[in-house]
Structure 1
Amino acid sequence: MSVCPNQELVERYVKGDCSADEQLKVETHLTGCPDCREQVETTRSYITDSAQAGSASVDEDTADSVHGEFPTEQNNRPTKSMSEEVTLPYGADALTASMESMIEGYRIIEELPRGGQAVVYKAIHTATNTKVAIKVLLPTLLASARARYYFEREAELIASLDHPNIVSIRDSGIIHGQYYFVMQYVEGRTLDRYVHSQKLSFRQRVELFDKICAAVTYAHQQGIIHRDLKFANILVDKRGEPHILDFGLAKAVGLSEQSGDNAVATMTGQWAGSLSTMSPEQAAGKPDLIDVRTDVYSLGVILYRMLTGQYPYDVSGPTLEVLKNIQKAEPVRPRQIIRKFDSDVEAILLTALAGERSRRYQSAADLQADIENWLHGRPIRVRSVSTMYVLRKIMARHRYTTTVVVLLLLIILGFAYFSFNLYITTIRAERGRDDTKQWAYLEAASTLRRNRQTLFTAFLGEWQQGRDSEAKAIAKILYNLFRDSKEKQAAQFLLNPSPLAEKESDFRRALTEEYAWLADFIVGEYHYREGSRKEALEAYQRSYGAIKQMPEDSRQRVGVWLVRQLMARLGDLDNVGADKPAGEKE
């Protein structure tokens, strides 16, 4: 099944009324569509809840909005008490035919795709001849006081919001026991479909996200947390303006999750939100930890997928496995997906997607501020992350690099102190150094050189993998301990974002002709990371040729580390072929 099943088929699948062929198609589709799996579970929960007439074993608040290009899960504010007795003179099949005669002043045009808790109609307001969307609580849910409550609360929350990028509510009420509300009709596409169909540039996608972020910031300032931000709940109109909808899971800030007017996701085994954009605290089923940073995380997932085409981690498979993965998995660095991904935007994404809430942006406003900093070419705030925090992240993910850095710090500082004292002792001597002192000095210098080279090797490893934050942390150590070293100059060259044509000549001039072999090797490393394998091979070959021509006593400057790295690179390029792009396999 290439397209998502409609709500009618989902209901028949849940009830076991579909044919064997339909069942096979639905189940095949569900293996690769997290949203549809969630829709099935939501429908199953609501059908069970209706049958049990309000039993607490189901949480209607997990309802997912429907697939489609028009608003489906929106606002609602019944004008009568929830305790009112509800009677249904008609069934679900008769609902469409009954709506036009029930709600005066509106002409029903068509039914839009159904969600797990409501059906939405495209209609015309006859007095103004304007298009509207009418959302109606499904008849199967009217027996549930909780479903009626959530429907009513959603309308009240949206009615309190007035923002151009949030769908507005225009009317609500109860007619013949049927809960409904009328909202702004958005003629457009869901966010993911819009981004794909318009082929937006990287910057255009960030600009579109900035508007979404501004709307969420506004909602937070009004005391409302959405808790279900996802692509299906954001529609983009023909003018390119996004509209956030479906506040069915929204939470009013300051109200307890256990309070009668805000009880969401409190039952064991229930989660509020959608799997694909759910935060770790939502996945853990901890409603007491949900705050504005929950929406920040979901926004991070949305922007990540907008820019990379992928989710930050695997969201396929059984629901429980996905929930565990959300809680434990670290986001894949965007640069591992797109080699030239902007490093500042990557830093913004990884901050928004931090598993620890204290490490995230503390509000949507903070996230939006950095987005706008990037759009206007200003420094982003999260670039001020301390070196110690970056090193702690290295310790958590890269034990080998951590061991190298820590041991080198201890060894280098120790030998630096030893060498300094040895130097002072030597220059104070009335006579020249004796053989013992000379040997000790040379041994110390040799050890420092080896450790400097090992530290630079660790830097190269992080830089080649696109882990610029870690590479910069190691480079700072190089800068502080070896201020005049060639390795420091090489690190500065590689971290300089300027085009190669603008910086190569200065780099070669700084290293001098004596170190042309090192300049060629570093330029080769630059081309290797960029995927320019032919240019990388040529640079490596020049470096290797220069080293071979060096006198034997001069080769010790090169270091075993570089020779090994050089030979590995040459072997890799010779085996794969210089014309193939980096990372391509035969």
Structure 2
Amino acid sequence: MIGQALGKYRVVEKLGEGGMGIVYRARDEGLNRNVAVKILPPGALTDEVSRKRFRKEALTLAKLNHPNIESLYDLDNKDGVDFLVMEYVPGATLAERLAGGPLPEKEVLTLGMQVAAALEEAHDQGVAHRDLKPGNIGVTPKGQVKVLDFGLAKVLPQAAEVDITVSLTETPAMAGTLPYMPPELLRGEPTDTRADIYSLGVVLYEMSTGQRPFREPLASRLTDAILHQLPNTPRTLNPSVSPELERIILKCMEKKQENRYQSAKELRVDLGRLLPSTAGAAPARR
């Protein structure tokens, strides 16, 4: 695929791969800019009905216009290959950043506020992420968050099921999506935007402590822990975490939806209170 052209997009290098497809950096030869091209899994769009549904949902995603959300530019099919064209986000994913251990609290707060702001905008537009995890959070060299793959778990349900199935069957169980899934999803119950709040709580926990809240090696035990056990408090693992941030994290991760933050805005404002200079301000919309 490297060096090949998909319409006006020339593929330069592979960036990553997952259940949602393979992502490449490509060059938009018409506008002379870098873009990210996601090649959808074979069979993701099996017929004209699924293709129309995908296009309709993708048009909704393309309307998301926020500095902390990766923009969707285009979707197309060339030579039987379905692909999405998105904003190219330089830098590293949060997962790569966390490989070095926990982050300072100020950075946890600034990054967490940006993710919450992205969720706030998307939720206001009726879009849930459904697969929030460090690997889906880009951080530019200047520290700007870009939440990736917004809503694709709904647009590509079969691909999302692949990610979840892999997480449920893999050993170790810490791979993939499962560690960030809320209890109601594991129980097969209806979910809403508060599922994203839970997932962000797990991400905040991991940023603060360098560990995920539940570390059971087998998927069955990990699932049971998410459903029934309480995590170690963040301050137990990292005493430098402030009591206020610990309270926020644990509220996000409440087992019952009604006990969590009820909106991303509420969470963003609380995080902002720990950074007095920000006063919980949301980034300006583009």
Tell me whether the two structures share a fold, i.e. TM-score over 0.5: yes
**Partner AA of 2:239 in structure 1:** R
Of structures 1 and 2, the one scoring higher in RCO (CA 8 A, sep 6+) is 2
Structure 2 partner of 1:104: 7
Structure 2 partner of 1:248: 152
State the 1:333 CA deviation.
1.2
Equivalent in 62, 69, 73 of residue 159 of structure 1:
62
**Partner AA of 2:192 in structure 1:** D
Equivalent in 107, 111, 120 of residue 204 of structure 1:
107
SS of the residue corresponding to residue 139 of structure 1 reads: coil
SS of the residue corresponding to residue 341 of structure 1 reads: coil
SS of the residue corresponding to residue 108 of structure 1 reads: strand
Equivalent in 305, 313, 325 of residue 206 of structure 2:
305
**Partner AA of 2:113 in structure 1:** D
* Runs of 5+ unmatched residues, structure 2: 169-175, 281-286
Instruction: State TM-score, norm by structure 2.
Output: 0.82
Structure 2 partner of 1:350: 250
Structure 2 partner of 1:336: 236
Task: Identify the structure with the greater strand proportion.
Answer: 2
Percent identical pairs in the alignment equals: 34
Q: How does 1:355-394 map to 2 (within 5 A)?
A: 355-376=255-276
CA, structure 1 residues 356+180, in 2 after alignment: closer, same or farther (shift >3 Å)?
same
* Runs of 5+ unmatched residues, structure 1: 1-95, 252-260, 381-586
State the 1:170 CA deviation.
1.5
SS of the residue corresponding to residue 172 of structure 1 reads: strand
State the 1:140 CA deviation.
5.3
CA, structure 1 residues 263+232, in 2 after alignment: closer, same or farther (shift >3 Å)?
closer
Cα distance between partner residues in 2 of 1:199 and 1:320 = 27
Residues 493-541 of structure 1 show CA distances to partners (whole Å, capped at 9, x for unaligned) of: xxxxxxxxxxxxxxxxxxxxxxxxxxxxxxxxxxxxxxxxxxxxxxxxx
Tell me which moved more, 201-210 or 235-244.
201-210
Residues 129-155 of structure 1 show CA distances to partners (whole Å, capped at 9, x for unaligned) of: 211111222335454779757754663
State the 1:323 CA deviation.
1.5
**Partner AA of 2:247 in structure 1:** A
Task: Identify the structure with the greater helix proportion.
Answer: 1
SS of the residue corresponding to residue 16 of structure 2 reads: coil
Cα distance between partner residues in 2 of 1:216 and 1:119 = 24
Alignment of 1:176 with 2:105, yes or no, is no
Kept in 1: contact 2:69–2:146 (CA 8 A): yes
State the 1:328 CA deviation.
0.5
Residues 97-141 of structure 1 show CA distances to partners (whole Å, capped at 9, x for unaligned) of: 7951xx332222123332224222211112332111112223354
**Partner AA of 2:67 in structure 1:** P
Cα distance between partner residues in 1 of 2:217 and 2:59 = 35
CA, structure 1 residues 343+199, in 2 after alignment: closer, same or farther (shift >3 Å)?
closer
Structure 2 partner of 1:113: 16
Cα distance between partner residues in 1 of 2:90 and 2:53 = 26
Cα distance between partner residues in 2 of 1:322 and 1:198 = 22
Equivalent in 69, 92, 95 of residue 189 of structure 1:
92
Cα distance between partner residues in 1 of 2:49 and 2:223 = 25
Structure 2 partner of 1:292: 193
Number of corresponding residues: 269
CA, structure 1 residues 357+188, in 2 after alignment: closer, same or farther (shift >3 Å)?
same
Instruction: State TM-score, norm by structure 1.
Output: 0.42
Kept in 2: contact 1:134–1:181 (CA 8 A): yes
Equivalent in 217, 223, 233 of residue 316 of structure 1:
217
Structure 2 partner of 1:534: none
CA, structure 1 residues 141+179, in 2 after alignment: closer, same or farther (shift >3 Å)?
same
Q: Over aligned residue pairs, what C-alpha RMSD do you find?
A: 3.3
Kept in 2: contact 1:224–1:250 (CA 8 A): no
**Partner AA of 1:352 in structure 2:** C
Residues 308-337 of structure 1 show CA distances to partners (whole Å, capped at 9, x for unaligned) of: 1112223431x2222221111112112222
